[in-house]
């Protein structure tokens, strides 16, 4: 959501990446999944499936090692134990949920203004109806009333509200007009909405969806330095800039709606990530009591962003050559189990975010033998498909 800006018409003009030599991770196709560490896997799955209308694709057995593997590959305590589930959220999104038992585990999630904080946004056709439906499905309270972005701002006419979740990070419900003011300044366009919410590639699997839900609208991260973070996303990961805006948070009602204490300013950059995803980067300046360090993967609210690539090793080598990036261990291929053949590696980046590059094998995966649910595949998509 956007609320205020220093530009007279609400938009800082940004250069769109349209040249033949486009930036980005070699062989990247799309965002494969977004991941979050939750306090309880059962309640997070229940919320994702029963409340939001997602579909559980698989749940893996607990993962633990008696050597240094967990530290080397996941940057967590060597004796940490992780449980993982993957939920398909509508037509475009894989949501990976982690629950850790770990020494030195931070049990309080980052708040929206803390560095490394995140929120998930859903596109809905009617925010008020979706909010009523969500409240009927459980004790999920809104942070404030539904708000409308004022005229002249980049998101003019968009309506939004944030609500609580059992996993400790906000959920945002948002509707967006067919055209937005920022489009006058750039050929870049945000993704969405999809014509139908479906957890199946054949268009079925819509039962239980939240009222009016179409797709995951955006994933948002709070960063320490907006210029640095935007440069990393655009120049290294290949994101496409849409607009920037600022919000004055001295207004208590706006701060409350965002879930942050009043005071300071929020600076935001909106980006298009590949063919099917939008990302928002938020930087809170002068926000009281904000944490300044990105959470570890094992901390509650820990997170990573995964990109599907055709060549994991080439992608890892590319990221390793970027300033401030460190590949954790080396690429590995899962030898057995539900995800046999999955090749992956994590990278710790200069902005604090963990990025995973992953490639699934051609053909079916073993988990598919026991369920009709399917993770969102990359298929024939390419990063710059629009």
For 374-383, the pLDDT digits (tens) are 999 998 899 9
Average pLDDT, the chain: 93
Q: Let me know: does 307 contact 270? Beta carbons within 8 Å.
A: no
Confidence class for position 20, pLDDT limits 50, 70, 90 = low
Q: Is 131 helix (H, G, I), strand (E, B) or coil?
A: helix
Specify the residue for token string 């988990």.
367
pTM of the predicted protein model? 0.93
Q: What would the pLDDT profile of 74-85 be if each residue is shown by its tens digit? A: 999 999 999 999
Q: Is 368 helix (H, G, I), strand (E, B) or coil?
A: helix
Kindly state whether residue 310 falls inside one of the protein's structural domains. yes
Distance CA 331, CA 325 (A): 15
Q: Let me know: does 205 contact 55? Beta carbons within 8 Å.
A: yes
Kindly state whether residue 12 falls inside one of the protein's structural domains. no
Kindly state whether residue 8 falls inside one of the protein's structural domains. no
**Residue 264 CA to its chain's centroid (Å):** 25
Question: What pLDDT is stored for residue 3 in this prediction?
Answer: 38
Of residues 196 and 2, the one with the higher pLDDT is 196
Confidence class for position 7, pLDDT limits 50, 70, 90 = very low
Question: Residue 261's domain spans which residues?
Answer: 28-370
* Residue closest to 119 by CA, chosen among 288, 291, 350, 281: 281
Mean pLDDT of 7-28: 60
CB neighbours of 118 closer than 8 A, spacing ≥ 6? 36, 110, 169, 219, 220, 221, 222, 301, 303
- Percent pLDDT > 90 in the chain is 88
What's the angle, vertex CA 239, arms to CA 3 and CA 70, rounded to 5? 105
Q: What would the pLDDT profile of 159-213 be if each residue is shown by its tens digit? A: 999 999 999 899 999 999 999 999 999 999 999 999 999 999 888 888 889 999 9
Kindly state whether residue 382 falls inside one of the protein's structural domains. no
Kindly state whether residue 11 falls inside one of the protein's structural domains. no
Kindly state whether residue 383 falls inside one of the protein's structural domains. no
User: How many structural domains are present in the chain?
Assistant: 1
Kindly state whether residue 13 falls inside one of the protein's structural domains. no
- Buried b / exposed e over 187-225, threshold 16 CB at 10 Å, is ebbbbbbbeebbbeeeeebbeebbbbbbbbbbbbbbbbe
Kindly state whether residue 56 falls inside one of the protein's structural domains. yes
Neighbours of 119 (CB within 10 A): 21
The DSSP bridge pattern shows strands 171-175 and 343-348 to be unpaired
Mean pLDDT of 93-115: 95
CB neighbours of 199 closer than 8 A, spacing ≥ 6? 53, 54, 55, 88, 89, 90, 91, 205, 206, 373
Question: What pLDDT is stored for residue 171 in this prediction?
Answer: 98
Phi, psi of 62 (to 5 degrees): -55, 140
Question: What pLDDT is stored for residue 14 in this prediction?
Answer: 44
- In the chain, which residue ranges form alpha helices assigned H by DSSP? 41-46, 69-74, 127-136, 226-231, 252-258, 312-320
CATH of the domain at 282: 3.10.180.10
CB neighbours of 339 closer than 8 A, spacing ≥ 6? 58, 60, 360, 365, 366, 367
Question: What pLDDT is stored for residue 202 in this prediction?
Answer: 84
CB neighbours of 198 closer than 8 A, spacing ≥ 6? 90, 91, 204, 205, 206
């Amino acid at each position: 959501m956007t609320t205020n800006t220093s530009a007279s018409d609400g938009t800082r003009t940004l250069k769109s990446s349209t040249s033949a030599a486009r930036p980005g991770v070699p062989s990247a196709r799309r965002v494969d999944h977004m991941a979050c560490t939750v306090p309880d896997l059962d309640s997070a799955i229940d919320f994702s499936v029963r409340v939001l209308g997602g579909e559980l694709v698989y749940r893996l057995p607990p993962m633990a090692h008696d050597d240094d593997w967990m530290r080397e590959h996941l940057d967590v305590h060597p004796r940490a134990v992780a449980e993982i589930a993957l939920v398909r959220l509508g037509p475009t999104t894989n949501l990976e949920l982690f629950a850790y038992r770990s020494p030195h585990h931070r049990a309080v999630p980052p708040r929206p203004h803390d560095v490394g904080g995140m929120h998930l946004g859903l596109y809905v056709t009617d925010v008020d109806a979706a909010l009523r439906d969500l409240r009927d499905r459980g004790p999920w309270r809104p942070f404030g009333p539904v708000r409308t972005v004022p005229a002249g701002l980049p998101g003019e006419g968009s309506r939004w509200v944030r609500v609580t979740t059992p996993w400790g990070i906000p959920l945002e419900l948002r509707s967006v007009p067919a055209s937005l003011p920022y489009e006058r300044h750039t050929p870049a366009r945000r993704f969405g909405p999809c014509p139908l919410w479906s957890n199946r590639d054949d268009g079925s699997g819509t039962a239980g969806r939240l009222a009016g839900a179409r797709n995951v609208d955006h994933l948002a991260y709070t960063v320490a330095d907006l210029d640095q973070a935007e440069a990393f996303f655009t120049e290294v990961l290949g994101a496409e800039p849409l607009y920037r805006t600022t919000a004055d948070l001295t207004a208590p009602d706006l701060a409350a709606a965002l879930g942050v204490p009043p005071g300071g300013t929020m600076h935001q950059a909106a980006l298009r990530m590949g063919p099917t995803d939008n990302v928002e980067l938020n930087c809170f300046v002068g926000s009281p009591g904000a944490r300044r360090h990105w959470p570890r993967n094992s901390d509650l609210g820990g997170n990573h962003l995964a990109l599907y690539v055709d060549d994991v090793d080439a992608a890892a080598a590319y990221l390793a050559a970027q300033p401030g990036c460190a590949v954790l261990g080396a690429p590995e291929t899962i030898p057995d189990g539900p995800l046999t053949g999955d090749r992956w590696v994590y990278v710790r980046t200069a902005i604090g975010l963990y990025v995973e590059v992953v490639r699934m094998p051609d053909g079916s995966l073993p988990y598919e033998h026991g369920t009709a649910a399917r993770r969102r595949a990359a298929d024939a998509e390419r990063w710059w498909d629009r």
